[in-house]
Amino acid sequence: MHQEFLMGNEAIAMGAIAAGVNLVAGYPGTPSTEVLETIAKRRPEDTYVEWSINEKVAMEVGAGAAYAGARVMVTMKQVGLNVAADPLMSLEYIGVKGGMVVLVADDPGPISSQTEQDTRHFSRFSKLPCFDPSTVQEAYEMVQDAFEYSEKYKTPVFLRSTTIVSHGYAAIEVQDETEYKTNKSEGFIKDTKKWVIFPKLSYQAHINIEARNVKLAGEFSSYSKNMLLDKDSKVFPKKGIATGGFNYTYVTEALKELGKAPLLKVSTPHPFPEELAVKFLTGLDEVLCVEELDPVIERELIYICGKYQLPVKIYGKLTLDVKNSGENSLDSVMDNLAKFLGAVPAKKAAISEAEQDEMPELPVRPPVLCAGCPHRGAFYAVKQAMKGKKTIFCGDIGCYTMGNAMPLDMVDTCLCMGAGLGIAQGVNHIEPDTSCFAFVGDSTFFAASITGVINAVYNQANMTLIVLDNSTTAMTGHQPHPGTGRTMMGDVVNKVSIEGILKGIGLEFVETVNPLDHKASVDAVKRAAALPGVKAIIFKSPCIAIVKSGKSLSINQDKCINCRKCIREIGCPGLVIRNDRVIIDDSLCTGCGLCSQICPVEAIGGEADE
Amino acid sequence: MSKNIVLCGVGGQGTVLASKLISGAAMNKGISVKSAETIGMAQRGGSVFSHLRLGDDAECPMIAHGSADIIIGFEPGEAVRMLPYLKKGGQVIVSAKPVMPVTAALAGSNYNGEEMLAYLQDKVENVTVMDTETACRELGSTKIVNLLLLGAAVESGELGLSADDIRQVIKERIPEKFHQLNFQALEYAKGLNKGV
């Protein structure tokens, strides 16, 4: 063993490597992305890693490898699990041979997601066992436990993490390379009664799964990471706290100050460690459940109280004693516990609440497209070309969702990966006189949009597809995809051409334009919009974060008439106001030149600011 | 030793690297570290923070209100935003250079951070305001704000780490061609009077 300072996601990765993982597949998504990236970086030579085209394919690639006896990890964020739901629901009935851990990172807040869905619920729904680590160290160890349980019971298992476990750092104890497990795959052995799903097989499998989960619930009651602590508390003999996942650390921090109370830590929310919970509940009058996302532990305890006729009042999200949406914080949990326990936390802040009220109005900072982002040029060109026309701009998931911000205001809808294409078609069928646009990034195009294009062509929709091709998966930290010609194994492969795919589907108007050439961009949009049928424009210019920045532009203050059209029209963060004049912040400007094409007096140019 | 440190700023300012240097320096001294930071969508021009907890008694990587020993603010408004975390007698290190949000520019606002600095100096006993813009110009790079502030944090004594500790970790983590510049930035605060 030795110590390493690791991010939670890195710890999960190192745990999987230590468990002898043979194949890892996933699709990027905050807060899960670093797991696969770390495995790719630190993998033993014979471990196979890929960014799959989406979560569904990743799950299927994983299933195949697990059928062949490999140890497999599949990684995704919580909404990605919806995409992978189809194969996963069936896979639970089929089962696996090699251990298979499905890493899903939930996002309380949500900070970078569409929903606050709770994978612990999905675990109950799909019947997969679920492990829910509280700390970075525990995440490292639990991956390895998860592989053992998966192999023992021949089922995929969830490792559910949340943002702070995934993105928190800690110095933890990890195994040396010599202590790593190795797993030699036996290979796929043909057996149609086992690997081919049929109603009869599913019926029998359902019986087996239910029996197994009863057994697992029993086993989990003595699992070392499910814990019953301070049951004989003298300070609070009748009040207990139930928690799990990251919130366990909030609770233990808060109880340090408020006094120890009986504490149930649930590390396997499904199957729920019922026996342990009964031990915890027995003799208590009241329990507060501290968890994020859905009241999973809370409902389980209410159920157990009913089942065993235990006279314990259960409080939590359902009673609004813990907020029912958004992230908890150390302070919110401290308040919840203090109220429940009737204890008073010491106030020790440098500034009082009254002084906080005197705070000057803080600058509001919604996320925006970076200075120099080529998406800004694309959105602005479409906006200019379609000025005064009846339009809808259907957005999608990626950096370009931020095209919604003022002053661009170019995202009318955003739902989920690839949905913009279908929505544009639906609007078009109801409102034929509306010019319908769907915006999609290059990675999202491959992940979730190709079927939408085929649907539009087949069903005779009139719409314009705008592909924002910045040659990377930018939002999640620049992962490669089929259009980049690089794989996670470090191979250089043939690039899959977006233009080629669109032409292959049968689109006649497919043009590639540089979005930072404003005139050419507006012209292409105008020509596309005037045509019937399905048309596509590919705005191609690399993400500013993956290429060397150009020289900063500057504003000639003698020429500038302070009309502020540049700021009003494109809202680039590089354009700022100082002493009532517009200047360019040279630490942000990449020299993309979009503003210089908008300036009515040609005041923006290439020389450094005085 | 036990220290709670908050770093804050605007996405892209280099708070993450500063956080990594502090944790690396602490680890080198055998001090246990836990930390958490903003990753994802908010990084694009949004408010970002890192919480760092040095010492064995930290269970959770997050810091509670009123428990930070030091706030290192890369932007005046962001330092004010994090102020509820500061404990009584805690230290604030802050860059005087404002980052104007696009929303403010659009509204024609003249946000310049001065109101924020005035509030900090009024409410907090121990504040070091650093003119990072001048320092960057003098040293010839806009990429050293993190080391400038880190230097001021070391000077304040509230970080629990020495300039040598930070220098060592710079040598380990940063390419050699940037060492000299970073060392200069780290030393810069030494020449300044506290509380200017």
Contacts of B6 in chain A (CB under 8 A): none
> Does residue B108 sit at the A interface (CB-CB below 8 Å)?
yes
Nearest to A385 by CA among A517, A514, A529, A533: A529
Q: What is the DSSP letter of A266?
A: E
Contacts of B94 in chain A (CB under 8 A): none
Please say whether the beta carbons of A488 and A420 come within 8 A.
no
Please say whether the beta carbons of A349 and B65 come within 8 A.
yes
Residue A306's Cβ-side half-sphere holds a number of Cα atoms within 13 Å equal to 6
pLDDT of residue A92: 98
**B-chain residue closest to A353, CA distance:** B84
Q: Which of B7, B13, B15, B39 to mutate to test the interface with A (most CBs of A within 10 A)?
A: B39
Cβ distance B105 to A350 less than 8 Å, yes or no, reads no
| B158-182 average pLDDT score | 94
Q: What is d(CA A153, CA A241) in angstroms, rounded to the nearest whole number?
A: 31
Backbone dihedral region for residue A33 (phi beyond 0: left; psi -120 to 50: alpha; all else: beta): alpha
> Does residue B193 sit at the A interface (CB-CB below 8 Å)?
no
Whole-Å CA distances, A251 to A224, A243, A343, B60, B186: 19, 8, 14, 9, 38
Number of H helices, E strands in chain B: 8, 6
**A-chain residue closest to B141, CA distance:** A587
Whole-Å CA distances, A183 to A24, A100, A186, A233: 14, 13, 9, 45
pLDDT of residue A355: 85
pLDDT of residue B195: 43
**B-chain residue closest to A562, CA distance:** B108
Residue A574's Cβ-side half-sphere holds a number of Cα atoms within 13 Å equal to 27
Q: What is d(CA B74, CA B48) in angstroms, rounded to the nearest whole number?
A: 10
The token pair that represents A445 in the structure block: 């195009």
Cβ distance A360 to B80 less than 8 Å, yes or no, reads yes
Q: What is d(CA B148, CA B183) in angstroms, rounded to the nearest whole number?
A: 9
Contacts of B90 in chain A (CB under 8 A): 350
Q: What is d(CA B88, CA B69) in angstroms, rounded to the nearest whole number?
A: 9
Cβ distance B86 to A349 less than 8 Å, yes or no, reads yes
Residue A536 CB contacts under 8 Å (≥ 6 apart), including other chains: A453, A464, A465, A466, A467, A502, A507, A509, A510, A511, A528
**B-chain residue closest to A252, CA distance:** B59
Residue A11 CB contacts under 8 Å (≥ 6 apart), including other chains: A136, A137, A139, A140, A170, A172, A174
pLDDT of residue A578: 86
Least reliable range by pLDDT among A465-469, B71-75, B109-113, B143-147: B109-113
Q: What is d(CA B76, CA A435) in angstroms, rounded to the nearest whole number?
A: 45
From B33, B77, B81, residue closest to A5, measured CB to CB: B33
Whole-Å CA distances, A12 to A17, A22, B11: 9, 15, 26
Nearest to A83 by CA among A501, A439, A418: A418
Cβ distance A168 to B119 less than 8 Å, yes or no, reads no
What pTM value is reported for the model? 0.94
Residues A110, A114, A117: CA angle, nearest 5 degrees: 70
Please say whether the beta carbons of A109 and A81 come within 8 A.
no
Q: What is d(CA B135, CA B144) in angstroms, rounded to the nearest whole number?
A: 9
Whole-Å CA distances, B5 to A167, B147, B155: 17, 16, 15
pLDDT of residue A160: 98
| B136-149 average pLDDT score | 92
pLDDT of residue B40: 65
> Does residue B191 sit at the A interface (CB-CB below 8 Å)?
no
pLDDT of residue B126: 95
Q: Which of B13, B27, B41 to mutate to test the interface with A (most CBs of A within 10 A)?
A: B41
Whole-Å CA distances, B24 to A41, A168, A302: 20, 15, 46
pLDDT of residue B105: 82
Contacts of A250 in chain B (CB under 8 A): 60, 62
Helix (H) or strand (E) holding A263: strand A263-266
**Radius of gyration over every alpha carbon of chain B, rounded to an integer in angstroms:** 16
Contacts of B119 in chain A (CB under 8 A): 358-360
The rounded average pLDDT for each run of 10 residues, N- to C-terminus, in chain A (610 residues) is 94 98 97 97 96 98 98 98 98 98 97 95 98 97 98 98 95 96 95 94 96 97 98 95 98 94 98 98 98 98 98 98 96 96 84 86 89 96 97 95 93 97 98 97 97 98 97 91 95 96 98 98 98 98 92 95 95 90 91 96 73
Going by their DSSP bridges, the two strands A100-106 and A48-51 should be labelled as unpaired
Q: Which of B17, B44, B86 to mutate to test the interface with A (most CBs of A within 10 A)?
A: B44
pLDDT of residue B193: 54
Please say whether the beta carbons of B5 and B36 come within 8 A.
no
Chain B segment 41-100 residues within 8 A of A by beta carbon are 41-47, 59-67, 77, 80-81, 83-84, 86-90, 99-100
The token pair that represents A300 in the structure block: 């389980």
Q: Which of A351, A375, A399, A401 to mutate to test the interface with B (most CBs of B within 10 A)?
A: A351
> Does residue B177 sit at the A interface (CB-CB below 8 Å)?
no
> Does residue B114 sit at the A interface (CB-CB below 8 Å)?
no
Q: What is the DSSP letter of A292?
A: S
Cβ distance B105 to A253 less than 8 Å, yes or no, reads no
Confidence grade of residue B102 (pLDDT, cut at 50, 70, 90): confident
A458 burial level (CB within 10 Å; 0-12, 13-18, 19+): exposed
ipTM comes to: 0.91
Nearest to A543 by CA among A481, A607, A450, A488: A481
pLDDT of residue B127: 96
Cβ distance B45 to A330 less than 8 Å, yes or no, reads no
Q: What is d(CA A501, CA A412) in angstroms, rounded to the nearest whole number?
A: 27
Please say whether the beta carbons of A403 and A411 come within 8 A.
yes
Q: How far is B193 from chain A (nearest CA, A)?
A: 23
Confidence grade of residue B196 (pLDDT, cut at 50, 70, 90): very low
Q: How far is A8 from chain B (nearest CA, A)?
A: 10
- Whether the pLDDT of residue B178 is over 90: the answer is yes
Mean pLDDT (chain B) is 90
Q: Is A156 helix (H, G, I), strand (E, B) or coil?
A: coil
Residue A37 CB contacts under 8 Å (≥ 6 apart), including other chains: A13, A477, A479
